[in-house]
Amino acid sequence: MYVSIRRYGLLTREPVEKVLQGVREGFMPIIRDQPGFLAYYALDSGGGTLTSISIFEHRAGAERSNRIAENWIGRNLTSTLPTSPEIIVGEVGAHELNLTKLGIREVNRVSKTK
């Protein structure tokens, strides 16, 4: 599993929530259809920055997501976000998910009777 983290400095005073709405409506439908896609997160990382996290099965997918993001931003958000953010790509070395809290797995409860 590979992750690409992109950190953007906003180029305008446009509210981050408005930028995130554009990402939800425009970029997410594109990225989720890419081969090996597992997850995508975008967040207001404070101080006039926006950070996105793309998770893919293979490094090629994570790296491809950077090019897709660059192209999409270049067509849709050039006045808001730079097309060349700070980028980190790497293989996940450790991870944990609480599937029960995410509602993906029910807790098996065993009741004991005497």
> pLDDT tens across 40-52, in order?
999 999 988 999 9
Q: What is the pLDDT of residue 38?
A: 97
End-to-end alpha-carbon separation of the chain, Å?
Answer: 46
104 part of a folded domain? no
Residue 110 included in any domain: no
Task: Please check whether residue 45 lies inside any domain of the structure.
Answer: yes
Q: Say how many residues make up the chain.
A: 114
What share of the chain in percent tops pLDDT 90? 64
111: pLDDT strictly greater than 60? no
pLDDT at position 114 is 47
Structural domain boundaries enclosing 68: 2-91
Q: What is the pTM for the complete model shown? A: 0.84
Burial class (CB in 10 A: 0-12, 13-18, 19+), 97: exposed
On whether residue 100 sits in a domain, the answer given is no
Structurally, the chain folds into a number of domains equal to 1
**CATH assignment of the domain containing 51:** 3.30.70.100
